Amino acid sequence: MDAEISLTVDGVARRLTVDTRTTLLDTLRERLGNCSPKKGCDHGQCGACTVLLDGERALSCLALAVAHDGAEITTADGLARGGELHPVQQAFLDRDAFQCGYCTPGQICSAVGVLAEVDRGWPSHASPDLVADPELSHDEVAERMSGNLCRCAAYVNIVPAVQQAGGVQA
């Protein structure tokens, strides 16, 4: 069965018809030609498909496109504005936080989501005080980014990149 949906992807409104079983990831990549989110495991375990869905980080391989009719999706490609890289993108470059780059778009979207969560004061499992504002310590960032796997093991540079983007002098 097909359904007509509307999505705003990286600031561009799109209207299309999709099979109701189609994931958001497949819609983005195969129907809209946006290859920024990657298909890693296709089971929600690696984070390569992470996008910002209505401002929150989400695994696009687990989301059905029809369930997000009218949603605003931001991929790593859509973070830069006016020719300027997003601070997270710049930090990943500054800190050499990638090797093969396959996981990088998902890592970057997840990092943007992490920084928003910290700004909102949301604690994580690594937060020592659940009522205090979380700090971007190494353990805090590593815990929050733990859903994004890097097959090259660039974690030693990813954590400092997220800290840099969050304003921490690491």
Q: Look up the CATH number of the domain holding residue 102.
A: 1.10.150.120
pLDDT of residue 169: 75
Nearest CA among 92, 95, 116, 115 for reference residue 105: 92
Looking at 37, 52, 78, the residue that finishes a domain is 78
Residue 65, pLDDT > 70, answer yes
Q: Where in the sequence is the domain holding 146, given as residue range(s)? A: 87-165
Which ranges constitute the DSSP H helices of the chain? 24-26, 87-94, 104-119, 138-144, 155-165
Contacts of 106 (CB under 8 A, 6+ apart): 37, 38, 40, 46, 47, 48, 49, 50, 51, 76, 148
Looking at the fold, whether 64 and 120 belong to one and the same domain comes out as: no
Looking at the fold, whether 36 and 91 belong to one and the same domain comes out as: no
**Beta partners for residue 2, in sequence order:** 19
Domain count, the chain: 2
Looking at the fold, whether 92 and 161 belong to one and the same domain comes out as: yes
Looking at 28, 57, 78, the residue that finishes a domain is 78
Looking at the fold, whether 63 and 133 belong to one and the same domain comes out as: no
Q: What are phi and psi of 29, to 5 degrees?
A: -75, -50
Q: What is the pLDDT of residues 140-158, one digit of tens each?
A: 999 999 999 999 988 899 9
Asked whether residue 170 is domain-assigned, the answer is no
Looking at the fold, whether 67 and 30 belong to one and the same domain comes out as: yes
How much is the average pLDDT of 58-86?
Answer: 97
pLDDT of residue 170: 58
Looking at the fold, whether 46 and 98 belong to one and the same domain comes out as: no
pTM of the predicted model, to two decimals? 0.95
